[in-house]
Amino acid sequence: AEFRLSDFEKLRVLGHGNGGTVYKVRHRRTAAVYALKAVHTDAALRRQVYREVDILRRAADSNHVVRFHAVVPTPSGDVAVLLEHMDGGSLDTLLRRRGCRPFSEPAVAAIARQALLGLAELHSRNIVHRDIKPANLLINAAGEVKIADFGVGKVLRRSLDPCDSYVGTCAYMSPERFDPESHGGDYDPYAADVWSLGLAVLELHRGHFPLLPEGARPDWATLMVAICFGEAAQAVTERAASGEFRGFIECCLQKESGKRWSVAELLGHPFVAGADGAESERALQDLLREDSHES
Ligand code: ADP
């Protein structure tokens, strides 16, 4: 379908990103609700949007990647991307709205499993996300978790891309991305996504970014030291956790990327393997319900 901006009614702002604002909109004729990501005009940013759209198109039949509907032209020449509206918002905002109270372990397991399924769908299409973090994992009222924000994602034309100088959200970057030279100038970008996912999952379980003291506002150097020289996997011991959860985190947060489990291996890990039944469903619904009581 062809869409025009005037076909939509703005309902509210959902969030702000790097290059623009995401709105909740309603299609006037069908009353269908969408998320509309409007991006301000700037040649570099527009390139980034088209790269994101290219990735979303490639992943169009994925169940755990936020659905893309259309590119909508705007009168000013800006572009807007029409996306599936995820009515639970991002996991990062969900956590904050709960006053950073940690998620229950069954909820964390269900989220980890779905995020892994999303990564599996991407990785099987040679797409690396490169910016996995709670702010880029969205949830809806049905308890579906999907990966969003491909602003810095990449379709790999070759298995490795040594010329890639992109620096992502430092906090979730794997150790080898800080020092690619020590890896012969390249690193496994799929394994880097796994590290970020492990850290994101641990953050939901802990209630705050796990590699630093609660509330810390670190500079780049402090983060780099925490990531490259800290014992990431040990951060899990600070809150009571099952052996399965500990094991899972250890598999994700191996400092040496070669020792890290792949997405396919992780999907078979006991922590997530059974996390799709009635109990998981309940845990996610509890999370969403607690949220609506408080907001
Ligand atoms: P950017 O790529 O510019 O960083 P994002 O795509 O991350 O922007 O969007 C910014 C915020 O907007 C997200 O963190 C989320 O809270 C909200 N958002 C983005 N896409 C959706 C969506 N499809 N449904 C609901 N909320 C969304």
- Whether 147 is in the pocket of ligand 1, judged by its Cβ within 6 Å, is no
What does the alpha-carbon distance between residue 173 and residue 131 come to, in Å, rounded to a whole number?
A: 8
Question: Is residue 9 very low, low, confident or very high in pLDDT (cuts 50, 70, 90)?
Answer: very high
Cα 142 to middle of ligand 1, angstroms? 18
- Whether 169 is in the pocket of ligand 1, judged by its Cβ within 6 Å, is no
Considering only residues 233 and 59, tell me which one the structure prediction assigns the higher pLDDT.
59
Judged against a pLDDT cut of 90, whether residue 146 lies above it is answered with yes
Judged against a pLDDT cut of 80, whether residue 182 lies above it is answered with no
Judged against a pLDDT cut of 70, whether residue 127 lies above it is answered with yes
Cα 220 to middle of ligand 1, angstroms? 24
Mutate to test the pocket of ligand 1, among 12, 16, 22, 138 (most ligand atoms within 8 A of CB): 22
Report helix, strand or coil for 37: strand
- Report which ligand 1 atom has the smallest distance to the Cα of 83: 23
Average pLDDT over residues 288-294: 74
Average pLDDT over residues 264-282: 96
Continuous segment of H or E residues that includes residue 115:
helix 105-123
Give CA separation, 243 vs 16, 22, 25, 93, 108, in Å.
Answer: 38, 39, 44, 28, 14
Q: Are 94 and 141 in contact (CB under 8 A)?
A: no
pLDDT of residue 92: 94
Residue 193 designated active-site? no
Name the residue with the closest Cα to ligand 1, atom 8: 17
Judged against a pLDDT cut of 50, whether residue 158 lies above it is answered with no
Mutate to test the pocket of ligand 1, among 10, 12, 37 (most ligand atoms within 8 A of CB): 37
Catalytic residue among 92, 131, 149, 193: 131
- Report which ligand 1 atom has the smallest distance to the Cα of 90: 16
pLDDT of residue 154: 67
- Whether 93 is in the pocket of ligand 1, judged by its Cβ within 6 Å, is yes
- Whether 18 is in the pocket of ligand 1, judged by its Cβ within 6 Å, is yes
Q: pTM (2 decimals)? A: 0.90
* Residue 157 burial (CB count, 10 A): 7
Q: Is 255 annotated among the ligand-binding residues? A: no
Cα 140 to middle of ligand 1, angstroms? 13
Cα 16 to middle of ligand 1, angstroms? 7
Task: Give the whole-number percent of the chain exceeding pLDDT 90.
Answer: 56
Name the residue with the closest Cα to ligand 1, atom 26: 89
- Whether 133 is in the pocket of ligand 1, judged by its Cβ within 6 Å, is no
pLDDT of residue 180: 65
Place of tokens 């810095």: 152
Instruction: List Cβ<8 Å contacts ≥24 apart for 82-85.
Output: 82/3, 82/34, 82/35, 82/36, 83/34, 83/35, 83/36, 83/37, 83/56, 83/148, 84/34, 84/35, 84/146, 85/14, 85/24, 85/33, 85/34, 85/35, 85/140
pLDDT of residue 38: 86
pLDDT of residue 221: 82
Question: Is residue 8 very low, low, confident or very high in pLDDT (cuts 50, 70, 90)?
Answer: very high
